[in-house]
Amino acid sequence: MIKNLGRRKLSKTGSHRKAMYSNMTQSLIMGEKIKTTLPKAKELRSFAEKIITNAKKGRKLEVRRIIKDKTAFDKIFDIIAPRYKDRNGGFTRIIKIGFRKGDDAEIAMIRLVD
């Protein structure tokens, strides 16, 4: 029996996950770092790196499907994509911070690599 071929569900519906990753990617682009739980950060990494790769290749429609905000859309094409033009991958880094006080969930910071 083959298991774990998909992604983490994070106890959310598919539409909720899609909206959450879209919003988190937009926040990552605007602030260049965000704090979240470790499982969300690990899933966000692949999501954000695909967006940056599409921006590097000039695929505006693919990026527009995920990034709805005009300022974030402009920033990814004007600042972030040219920054990583010579880099093949690994645009983000996950740094473990500690544990959240309320529910003891592991917190991590995901940031764009300089």
State the Cα–Cα distance between residues 110 and 102, nearest whole angstrom.
21
pLDDT score recorded for residue 2: 79
pLDDT score recorded for residue 36: 97
State the Cα–Cα distance between residues 13 and 15, nearest whole angstrom.
6
How confident is the model over 20-55, as pLDDT tens digits?
A: 999 999 999 999 999 999 999 999 999 999 999 999
14-112 — its CATH code?
Answer: 3.90.1030.10
Map out the domains of the chain as residue ranges.
14-112
